[in-house]
Every structure is written in C-alpha cells, then in structure tokens.
Amino acid sequence: MDFINAIVLLLNYIFVPALAYGSQLALGAIFVTLIYGILRFANFATGDMMSFGTMVTILFTWYLQSLGVSLGFLPTALIAIPFAIMFMVGYMLLIDKFVFKYYRVSKSPPVQLAMVSIGVMFVTQAVVRIIIGPSDRRFFDGEKFLIKAGEFKEMTGLNEGLAIKSTQVITIVVTLILVSTLFWFLNKTKTGKSMRAYSDNEDLALLSGIDPKKIVTITWIIAGILATIGGALYGLDKSFKPFTYFNNMLPIFAAAIVGGIGNPFGAFLGGYVIAFSEILLTYAYKKFFMYLLPESLEPNTLVQLLSTDYKFAVSFSILVIVLLYRPSGIFKGKIL
C-alpha cells in the first residue's frame, strides 16, 4: 500500500503537472524551431507573440461570455481559440510583410533578423499591455477538476490524493492532436515536404520549383496557430500575465535547442525534457521516502536537490550543458 501511495504522490506532484507544462513548452518550442528552420533566425518575440495570441483569445472569450455562450463543463475559451487564431495569423502575416520580409529578401545575416525580432518584441509587448494591461488575468470557466484529491482518496482508499485539473487534460489532449496533425502535415503532404526541403537546403528547393512565398506564408500560419494555442493553454492552466509570457520565452528556447533546433520532433520532446527536469530536480522528496523507507531510515530534511527558486536555472543549466557537449541538440538538429 505504501508503495502505491508513493507512486500516486509522484503522479500528483510531478508527472501530471510536468506533462501539462511540458506540452505548453513543446508547442512554443516547435514554434521557435519552425521559425528557425525555415525563416532562419532566432525569434526573440516568441513569448510576446504567444501573449498576443492569448490576449486575443481572452478578448473573444469575454465577448462570447457576454453573449451567454458557454460550453458547459469545458472552458469557453475553446470556442474563442479558432477566432483568435485567425486574428493572430493576420497579425503574423502583417508583421512579416512590414518587418521581416525586407530583411529576408535582402538576405541579411540571421543576427540582424534576431535584432529586428527584438523590435517586434518591444512593439508586441507594448500593444498587449496597452490593450489588456499588465495585470494577472484568469479566464478559465467551467469545471475546474476532473478528479478531486478528496474524491480520489475515497474511491481508492489511499492516503494520497490525485488531483487532475481539467485544464491539464485539455492541454495534453489538444497538444497531442495538434502535434500529430503537424507531423502528418510535415511528413505526408506535398506542402509539408516542400517546407522540409526548403529548411534543409534553400537553393536546391528553389531550383526544384518550390515557391518561397508560399512556404513563408504557411510557416507564419502554422506559427500563429502554435503560438495562440500554446499561449492560451498556458493561460488556461495557470493565468495570463504578459511578463510571465515574456519570461517563458527562456525555457522555450532551452527546449528548442535541447531538442536540436530546426527539428520539430526534437523540440516537442525537448519541451518535456525541460519540464520534467525542472520539476524533478526541485521537488522535495521527503514524503516519497517516508512511504518507501522503514521509519528508522526516514529522512529529516526535505530531500530537495535544488530549491524551487532555481526552477528556471535548471533548464538553463541543462541548455548550457547540451550546448557544450552536443551543440546540435540531443536529437540532432541543424549542424552548426
């Protein structure tokens, strides 16, 4: 019994939250990696683009709520997301037309594009803060828990409860659907294949008649979808605050590079690598050992490898180690 309790404990505090957080990071990381692979620059506006998408989702959610639309036990935001995506894609294409296109056409070095993306970051951040303000917002409605800790205890008779938030399940399910569709698109359709070809070798792809304008447009559309959904899921699960989104850019970058930048599947796994290592290394295992070990051996400290304050630092340290030993990432991205 103690053994099962220990497992449930880990599931409740490590596995489920890390899976949800990892899915949110994974979406962001695929976004970064796609931009990097096809448009060839590190997009420093990632976090703020996600916050822009989330902001639009929130605005649509408020509008729908004022109309009295609701999904019952599911959050209203799920209906708002498709509208937000359309808006977001428009915004992305607009930015591309007025900002990035010039540098792409004149074949500027990637560093210059990265600098330009910092300008976009400033502008997007300002727009988000002017429209919705810098404060913390929750826009989740509907049923909060799928399984409550108390119910689980009653059901199984265990000491440890397992609470599963509905947002966690939604996050994981939506991520899986979205990512599998994306991989199907990239691997099986003609457009997806041409995108991969363009990413792999631009000149050859152009020679074989691939239209670069189309590739770029589709990349921004996919990026818009990923940014909106990733941001909205994070906001539903936790809360929406522009500053947090800006900060989330860092673990997202870490995930993309750890997975091998330019490699979408690597980025997907990288998200989970970062999320799990952040939570595994900062969790206090005292209770876990109390269940497993006999009373005489019970630890009297928290058995925490690192204090939770260093959550971010964990992912960055992993990144630095990966950069040192395998600059192309765990799953072999572009060779640098």
Partner 1 sequence: MRKNLNVIAAYTIMMGLIILVGIFQSWNIALSIFNLCLISAVMTMGANIQWGYAGLINFGIMGYTALGGLAAVLISVDPVQEAWSVGGSNILLSLLLIIGMVLAVRYVLKKYEKSKVRTYIIASIIIAGIIIIRFVSEPGIEAIEEVDPAKTGFLGGFGLPIIFSWIVGALFAGGLAFVIGKVALGLRADYLAIATLLISEIVIAIIKHEDWLTRGVKNVIGLKRPAPYEVNLQQTDWFINLVEKFNLSKLNLITDLSERQAALNQFVIEGSSIFVKLCYSGLFLIVVIILLILTQKALYSPWGRMMRAIRDNEEAANAMGKNVVKQHLLIFVLGSAIVGIAGAMLVTQDGLFTPGSYRPMRYTFLIWVMVIVGGSGNNFGAILGGFVVWFLWIESAPIGLYLVNLTTAGLADTHFLKVHLIESVPYFRFLMMGIGLLLIMRYRPKGILPEKIEIK
- Which residues bind to partner 1, rule: CB under 8 A? 41-42, 99, 102, 109-112, 114-116, 118-127, 129-130, 133-134, 246, 250, 253-254, 257, 307, 309-310, 312-313, 316-317, 319-320, 323-324, 327, 336
3-state secondary structure of 239: coil
Per DSSP, what are the bridge partners of residue 137?
Answer: 240
Q: How crowded is residue 14: how many other Cβ atoms within 10 Å of its Cβ?
A: 16
Evaluate whether 38 touches 216 at the Cβ level (below 8 Å): yes
Give which of 7, 26, 76 is closest to 267, Cα–Cα.
Answer: 26
Which residues contact residue 116 at a Cβ distance below 8 angstroms, ignoring those fewer than 6 apart?
99, 100, 103
3-state secondary structure of 284: strand
CA distances (Å), 144 to each of 58, 81, 104, 188, 230, in order?
Answer: 18, 19, 45, 38, 19
Name the pairing type of β-strands 164-165 and 145-147.
Answer: antiparallel
Give the nearer residue to partner 1 in terms of CB position, either 164 or 250.
Answer: 250
43-67 burial, b if ≥16 CB within 10 A, otherwise e?
bbbbbbbbbbbbbbbbbbbbebeee
* Smallest gap from residue 239 Cβ to partner 1 (A): 19
3-state secondary structure of 165: strand
* CA atoms of 177 and 175, how far apart (whole Å): 5
